[in-house]
Structure 1
Amino acid sequence: MLLIVLAGNAVLCFVGWELAGFSSWLLIGYAWERPPATRNALFAFVTNRIGDAGFMLGIGLAVWSVGTLEWAWLAGDGSMGRVTIRLLAAGFVVAALVKSAQLPFTPWIGRALEGPTPSSALFYGSLLVHAGVYLLCRMQDLLLQAPDLMALLAAVGLLTAVYGSLCGLVQSDVKSALVFATVAQVGLMVLCCGLGLFPLAACHAALHACWRAYQFLLAPAYMHLVRQPARPSPRWLANWRWGYTAALQRFWIEPLASSLLTRPTLALGRDVRALDERFIDPLLGAPRDDEPAPARPAGDELIRGHGLAGRALFAFANRLQALENRLLLSDGGTLGRHLRQLGHYADTVEALLEQPRYLMLMVMATFVVIL
């Protein structure tokens, strides 16, 4: 996060952007032995790759159209066309909306609560969820040149604020209620950015980060601190059957996102694994899991090659063994005969050095060299 804030250009900011997202993914899947944790980590990982693609699109368009990646010069000198400005800004806007969990990319932050509570406080209460707002504030000069894109930002921020408020009213656990309250507040920050109130959005982000981090860290103690039952949903929402059901189901955005992102990714992973097991492993010689364990070969044959690569290595090993037998191990081998003769000479020298007079001579020679 410090790298994101202190970076003076888009590339260095993207490095911090990726490191923060990678850390978030690791913490969501911290309890890797639990299938829900790994599924939620995958969901968050795939969703954030959309934002990374937008960030990379913005970097590429900046190099092509502006010729620099410094934040101070990214807005250009006024000579860029309307389409170029909107495409350049749209890439960074998509990255900001995904990282700050704005509609339609909100579902991933609810899955991110699978991680430990301290990581939730850091990433989804104070730091990471405000990175998108910080990026929008960085892009102020560029966004002011695209008023239609700012209108879109205002609409997305308003809808997200309403969505987060309604979903937060029907949550039954503290962390979920806090994270949807966070989404609503960040939606208001994006709304301020869309209205051109960038200083107000920055001040709101700083104040909200401090307060929300404190609330998340205190979340496990609420059940001991609060002596009364949780407040029920407002009467107007409870009497509004369709609205209450939609808020309870989070407006059915999560199943839709899971169908569009997680399921295709898992299907692709299964296809790649099947290709690896049925084609790559036999080609490289790795035994398949469904094969029975081979019986121990008779005689001196201790290794059996699998697949094309295994058979080739096995044939090469047989050739090397034959060469070794001919040169070293056979009785009439030339190299073996010379080695045995050399060993005989070494034994003779060793026997001479073991005699006392030669040993004293070696000690005296050593003292002469030292002196």
Structure 2
Amino acid sequence: MSWDTVLATAGLVVVIAPSLLVLAFCATALFTRQPSERLSARLTQAAVLAGLLASSLVLFGMLTTGNRNVIVELGEWVSLHPDETGEAYHFHLKFVFDRLSVPFVLLTFILVGTVGAFANNYLHREKGYGRFFALYSLFLLGMVTAILAGTVETLFLGWELVGLSSALLVAFFHDRTAPVQNGQRVWTVYRVADAAFLIAAIAMHQLVGGGDFAALTGEGAWPYAQASIAPGPALAIGLLLLIAAAGKSALFPFCEWLPRAMEGPTPSSAVFYGALSVHLGAYLLLRVSPLIQQSVPLAASIIALGAITAVYGAVVTRAQTDIKSALAFASLTQVGLITIEIGLGWQYLALIHILGHASFRTLQLLRAPSVLQDHQSLENALGGRLNAPKHRSDRSRLSRVLYRFAHRRGQLDGTMDRYLVTPLLSLFSGCQQLESRWLGWLAGPENGAPLDALPKTTAEASDLL
């Protein structure tokens, strides 16, 4: 058996293992009331172990053979509206193992397995134990799909699965109001990012005639490929992808959903918002890094956005009073720095930074529930306070302004509600009313619709919007 066959088979196992895990949870939900804790844990462990061994074999084979680009294709699943030349919008399932995706997918399996073992004990006898692991398996499938995606459609599929599982796990404790509201908020921000991603995918199809990343970023192994498109289209598509990455990675001004996401269980907070999901936007920018190098304004925009995010996170984290919020804004600072590195063209440094930060932040978030108890136990043993706060009365005006800014988190929530959410809701509500009147007018008075269903003047139509 040749190495090419071994690598292709191992790559297929990496993709199939999380898919079978999701199908297993779906099957148990159909035929039994709820899978047992032991079954849920064993299924997750088996899928993670199979994926980890297969991805390790792919890495070993790539190092042995010198092959830096292993492709696994599963064919064309959808083809819509072919024109006279035979061109069509199509959904081509293609997975790529290269210097970017292999380290990231190995990190995914290691952290998902570690956090899964932690969650097995942490959520013992929790009412939603089975639901947590079902959503956890969906997240694993989404991450593997997005990381290994060789086409923009495949990446969008994984992107959506990660977003859906993230929002549902934020609202995991749905018997309380706050988690549900915060889950909706996370989902709303993700929708903005998804819309930008979808527009970028359509523009990419129109520009290069398909969704293959190789057509957009150029042939060659990452990160040495050279994009062949002009700087203007590169800037347009790159800015749309930057908006998508900003929403997924909580870059400025979409920062406020990250501390809200800490309403979910600690294991999901660790693996989602400390390790993997929060870095998915940065991963997208790394994947299209040859495109970024084609446009200086695009690279400058990425650097500026990363710098603003890093400064914002560094300032706000100093005024947080709970450990999970402090860690959330600390993660924000590091993601901002990673974004700067991507904009500067330091792809390998950004990749190493992601791997190190994800591992370290996962450990911190898993330790978060017991840190306060350990701190209090140590104080009781010593008979005094540790690191007693120093009261200062000589703070400068700038210090007071920065503290007020950090304490209010820059009022990003209120600003986004006032200038983005409310206008969009008003616009869509007016469009819905206009559509209802139009449908009523089309139905005619014989079907109960009034004759004056449509606005008769421009002013009336403007009032609806």
TM-score by length of 2: 0.55
Whether contact under 8 Å (1:4, 1:12) holds in the other structure is yes
Amino acid at match of 1:255: G
Q: Which has the higher contact order (CA 8 A, sep 6+)?
A: 1
Residue 69 (structure 1) aligned with residue 199 (structure 2): no
Residue 161 (structure 1) aligned with residue 322 (structure 2): no
Q: Distance in 2 between matches of 1:231 and 1:170?
A: 16
* Mapping 1:52-201, distance limit 5 Å: 52-75=194-217, 80-201=229-350
Q: Distance in 1 between matches of 2:358 and 2:432?
A: 42
Residue 20 (structure 1) aligned with residue 162 (structure 2): yes
Whether contact under 8 Å (2:217, 2:228) holds in the other structure is no
Please give the secondary structure, in 2, of the residue aligned with 1:145.
Answer: coil
> Residue 51 of structure 1 corresponds to which residue in structure 2?
193
TM-fit CA distance, 1:113: 1.0
TM-fit CA distance, 1:68: 2.4
Q: Distance in 2 between matches of 1:47 and 1:249?
A: 20
C-alpha distance after superposition, 1:260-284 (max 9, x if no partner): 455568889999999xxxxxxxxxx
Please give the secondary structure, in 2, of the residue aligned with 1:83.
Answer: helix
> Residue 258 of structure 1 corresponds to which residue in structure 2?
417
Amino acid at match of 1:246: F
C-alpha distance after superposition, 1:272-319 (max 9, x if no partner): 999xxxxxxxxxxxxxxxxxxxxxxxxxxxxxxxxx9xxxxxxxxxxx
> Residue 176 of structure 2 corresponds to which residue in structure 1?
34
C-alpha distance after superposition, 1:71-111 (max 9, x if no partner): 22212586633321111111211111111110011111121
C-alpha distance after superposition, 1:143-201 (max 9, x if no partner): 10011111111111111111101111111111000000000001000010111111101
TM-fit CA distance, 1:33: 2.9
TM-fit CA distance, 1:8: 1.2
Whether contact under 8 Å (1:47, 1:261) holds in the other structure is no
Q: Distance in 2 between matches of 1:162 and 1:36?
A: 28
TM-fit CA distance, 1:114: 1.2
Whether contact under 8 Å (1:144, 1:150) holds in the other structure is yes
Number of residues of Structure 1 aligned to a counterpart in Structure 2:
278
TM-score by length of 1: 0.68
Larger strand proportion of the pair: 2
CA 1:4/1:120 → structure 2, altered by over 3 Å: closer, same or farther? same
CA 1:235/1:60 → structure 2, altered by over 3 Å: closer, same or farther? farther
> Residue 222 of structure 1 corresponds to which residue in structure 2?
371
Amino acid at match of 1:259: R
CA 1:65/1:217 → structure 2, altered by over 3 Å: closer, same or farther? same
Q: Distance in 1 between matches of 2:187 and 2:393?
A: 37
TM-fit CA distance, 1:50: 1.1
Whether contact under 8 Å (2:216, 2:229) holds in the other structure is no
Amino acid at match of 1:97: A
Q: Distance in 1 between matches of 2:326 and 2:171?
A: 21
TM-fit CA distance, 1:233: 8.9
> Residue 242 of structure 1 corresponds to which residue in structure 2?
401
Amino acid at match of 2:369: P
TM-fit CA distance, 1:219: 0.3
Please give the secondary structure, in 2, of the residue aligned with 1:96.
Answer: helix
Residue 8 (structure 1) aligned with residue 150 (structure 2): yes
> Residue 360 of structure 2 corresponds to which residue in structure 1?
211
Identity of aligned residues (%): 37
Q: Distance in 2 between matches of 1:233 and 1:199?
A: 41
Residue segments in structure 2 that go unaligned for 5+ positions in a row: 1-142, 219-225, 379-384, 434-447, 449-465
CA RMSD of aligned residues (A): 3.0
Q: Distance in 1 between matches of 2:284 and 2:390?
A: 35
Please give the secondary structure, in 2, of the residue aligned with 1:105.
Answer: coil
TM-fit CA distance, 1:258: 3.1
CA 1:86/1:212 → structure 2, altered by over 3 Å: closer, same or farther? same
TM-fit CA distance, 1:11: 0.6
Amino acid at match of 1:250: R
Amino acid at match of 1:135: L
Residue segments in structure 1 that go unaligned for 5+ positions in a row: 275-307, 309-371
CA 1:235/1:74 → structure 2, altered by over 3 Å: closer, same or farther? farther
Whether contact under 8 Å (1:43, 1:261) holds in the other structure is no
* Mapping 1:193-342, distance limit 5 Å: 193-226=342-375, 227=378, 228=385, 232=389, 239=396, 240-260=399-419
C-alpha distance after superposition, 1:120-145 (max 9, x if no partner): 00110001000011111100111100
Q: Distance in 2 between matches of 1:158 and 1:3?
A: 30
